[in-house]
Amino acid sequence: QVQLVQSGAEVKKPGASVRVSCKASGYIFIDYYLHWVRQAPGQGLEWMGWINPNSGATMFAPKFLGWVSMTRDTSISTAYMEMTGLKSNDTAVYHCARGIDHTNMIMDVWGIGTTVTVSS
Amino acid sequence: DIQMTQSPFTLSASVGDRVTITCRASQSIRTWLAWYQQKPGKVPKLLIYKASSIESGVPSRFSGSGFDREFTLTISSLQPEDLATYYCQQYDSDPYTFGQGTKLEIK
């Protein structure tokens, strides 16, 4: 079945970097965009951006430009999201999600999330 | 950025009730709207896309409607398992913003 398996929880100090992985299975990796969405504790969903696994093209919400990057390794059907210069308010659960439909912007399968805690 | 505003913030209803959640966009998004359900401790689940198209496997008591700036998600007969927070999301233009969520409680 279609699955997105994410890497484990991370604890980082302010100013550090973190990389979260998202391994896809059960479908052709390069055929669907992957989105990243975060959810701070007790808060709502925040769309961060997407990567086109076929071309490597990316798009980010403005607040994530310049300090978040998204890459992929098609040989192992895995996408990565890296954040630099972490702040305490980046503490959140980070989900990857597959984009479907001709728009690629509807998210039908979600990873269970990776908890990133930023604390001194 | 397009702002998405949901109402109400919280909603308490009884099993069997008809429930409606509203989502308003700060500008026209045509019908590029999705609804997601997030049960406590779970990941979001796609319910509705393109404002009114129901995702495969979603119970028929869920329906969506709307166009331009105002949209609704309706549960025709509330079930206990519908306890969740519901989010709308526009995908007309980036950034693809979510509403703040509506928490649905069962009386």
Could you report the per-residue pLDDT of B61-101, keeping only the tens digit for each? 999 999 999 999 999 999 999 999 999 999 999 999 999 99
Q: What is the pLDDT of residue B98?
A: 97
Distance from the A94 Cα atom to the nearest Cα atom in chain B, whole angstroms: 11
Q: What is the pLDDT of residue A96?
A: 98
The angle at the Cα of A12, spanning A73 to A108, to the nearest 5 degrees, equals 45
Contacts of A63 (CB under 8 A, 6+ apart): none
Size of interface A-B (CB pairs under 8 A): 55
Residue with tokens 């990133």: A116
Task: Determine contact, residues B60/B42, Cβ cutoff 8 Å.
Answer: no
Binned at pLDDT 50, 70 and 90, residue A113 comes out as very high
Helix (H) or strand (E) holding A9: none
Question: Which residues of chain A does B45 touch, with a Cβ-Cβ cutoff of 8 Å?
Answer: 110
Mean pLDDT of A86-96: 98
| B94, B100, B103: best to mutate for the A interface, most A CBs within 10 A | B94
Strands A106-110 and B62-67: unpaired
